[in-house]
Structure 1
Amino acid sequence: MLMINFEPKRSYQTIGLILRKELSDGLYTIGSRLPPERDIAERLNVGRTVVREAIIMLELENLVEVKKGSGVYVINLPQDKNSQADSSFVRQEDIGPFEMLQARQLLESTIAEFAAVQATPSDIERMREALEIEKNEIESEGSLDPTGDRLFHLCIAEATQNSLLVDMLKQLWERRESSPMWKKLHCHIENKDYCKEWLDDHAQILLAMKRKDPRAAKHAMWQHLEHVKVRLLELSDFNDPQFDGYLFDSIPANLVSQEK
């Protein structure tokens, strides 16, 4: 039996190891389908996003194969030498994509709130230019280059005039772009229309920046990244095309805008 010599750091790793042991114990055979994601989440008392991330971990180890609209199928067992893919870095260091989005949501909503107060006219102009780049990329046939998206978020961080916040944002984006788990999640997503939805979100964030409205900016950024999480979870759902839940509450009580 293949031994796992590491302590899980992430929630998805804990669940992934449970599923991995069930494969080793013969609970599932090669060619069989794993139970629906919802059933696994209920049995192990975790959220569906954690199960989704655990399955991505098993995919990267070449133990399971995801078939869109059909489910997750066992293709190797842990004692099979073919399952020993080079995943040590993934298992020990990689952050689950939905955990990463949650961290971005908490950090970037606060950055946007502060940036709305600090932003200069030149900062606003740079945000506009980034938005235009993003729009052109989306309109370009087959273009999936995220340059404009990243640049827009970076411009907001730079508008805070706080270099540490800028560094923190850059580190999050660098982890995203180097993450095998993030890439594996996206390989199951065929419909790219969501990029247009996110462009509209960015326009709302920019509007709040122009108005120097910190509360609206924080709300708009929070909601934008909530849209990202929900859409990615929905589009990558291989069991049930009818999405039925959120990672956590969309907008905490203290972020809900009050009409003036």
Structure 2
Amino acid sequence: MSDQSDQQRAPRLYLSVAQDLLTAMAAGEYILGVRMPGDRELAARLGVSRTTVREAILALELIGAVEVRHGDGTYVRGPHAGVAAIEGSALDVAPRELIESRRALEPVVASFAATRIDTDRLRGLTRDLDEGAEIVAEPSRIPRFMELGLRFHSDLALGCGNSLLAGIVGQLVDAETHPLWLLVNQHAVSSLQAREGQLRQHREVLGAIASGDAARAAQAMTAHLASVDAVIFNPAASDAATRGDA
């Protein structure tokens, strides 16, 4: 029984360590280009095994947050490194497949929600966005900000009036089902600019739904998920577009 319980906790443990390291990077504890402490030191600091630290570093390498130079150490790559070459990862379904699926489904869900969502759910979504706005500038609160962001999508889907679509979207944004996706998202919003952009886009989606405009809700969700795609897979182009360079 104990072995089974340990196996169930193990994936969440490496994910928790990886999240802690990403939060430390966003807070400036580990800056771009700097070599991180070795796995023995990190294990001691974080109170976990060296194996768990290695799994966390592997996940961070897969999402582009760090570069592992064999024989030299692990170096921080920063928030502008795109995600690539992880389609065969044993850690999770490829994030590229997840975002592709979400881009196909969630605009439809948003359009349905515009005519079917109830007042209580709208209030709950608004409260979550307000909480996100309160913590958006705090690097130490990024895990909570991410939790609120993913919950926005799953709770919005619950208001679309179609339980099958709501269940599918809920699975696509579930951190336990897709742990690597959570890390990808957290890495993508490590900058304040990215977090503020996500919050603004969520408000645009919710505003369209609250006004009952199905077409505008679908358009806002389409634009939001296209932005998520760009931030994750082509961050340089996304930064240029935000600055007005492209």
TM-score range relative to shorter protein? 0.5 to 0.7
Give the superposition deviation at 1:189: 7.1
1:102-135 per-position Cα deviation (integer Å, ceiling 9, x unaligned) = 2111111111011111112222222211211221
Structure 1 residues 179 and 109 mapped into 2: Cα distance closer, same or farther (>3 Å)?
A: same
User: How many correspondences in the alignment?
Assistant: 172
The match for 2:211 is 211
Partner in structure 2 of residue 5 of structure 1: none
Structure label with greater radius of gyration: 1
Instruction: Show the counterpart of 1:56.
Output: 62
Distance across 2 between alignment mates of 1:127 and 1:193? 22
Query: Could you tell me which of 101, 114, 120 is aligned with 2:99?
Result: 101
Structure with the higher helix share, 1 or 2? 2
118 and 187 in structure 1: CA distance in 2 versus 1, 3 angstrom threshold = closer
After superposition, the C-alpha distances for 1:119-152 in whole angstroms (9 at most, x for unaligned) are 1222222221121122123144531022321222
- TM-score, length-scaled by structure 2: 0.56
Aligned-pair distance for 1:204? 0.8
- The AA in structure 1 aligned to 2:130 is E
1:51-200 → structure 2 map (5 Å cutoff): 56=62, 68=77, 91-92=89-90, 94-140=92-138, 142-144=140-142, 145=144, 146-174=146-174, 178-180=178-180, 183=183, 187=187, 190-200=190-200
| Identity among equivalent pairs (%) | 20
Deviation, structure 1 residue 194: 0.3
2:232 match: 232
The 1-side partners of 2:120 and 2:189 are apart by 36
| Change beyond 3 A, Cα 1:164–1:233 | same
SS of 1:91's equivalent?
A: coil
What's the TM-score once normalised by structure 1's chain length? Answer: 0.53
Rounded Cα–Cα distance in structure 2 between residues aligned with 1:213 and 1:189 = 28
Question: Which residues of 2 match residues 26-41 of structure 1 at below 5 A?
Answer: none
Distance 1:107 1:113 in 2: 10
- State the match for 2:14 in structure 1: none
When residues 95 and 129 of structure 1 are mapped into structure 2, their CA distance, relative to the original with a 3 A threshold, is same
Contact 2:113-2:156 within 8 A present in 1 as well = yes
* Structure 1: gaps of 5 or more residues: 1-54, 72-86, 236-240, 247-260
Q: What is the CA–CA distance in structure 2 between the aligned matches of 1:200 and 1:229, rounded to whole Å?
A: 16
Within 1, Cα distance between the matches of 2:156 and 2:149?
11
> Aligned-residue CA RMSD in angstroms?
4.0
Give, in whole Å, the separation in 2 of the partners of 1:165 and 1:111: 7
Is the contact made by 1:97 and 1:182 (CA closer than 8 Å) also made in structure 2? no
Q: Which runs of 5+ in 2 are unaligned?
A: 1-60, 242-246
Helix, strand or coil for the counterpart of 2:131? helix
The answer on whether the counterparts of 2:63 and 2:184 sit within 8 Å (CA) in structure 1 is no
2: CA distance, partners of 1:244 / 1:150:
22
SS in structure 2 of the partner of residue 143 of structure 1? helix
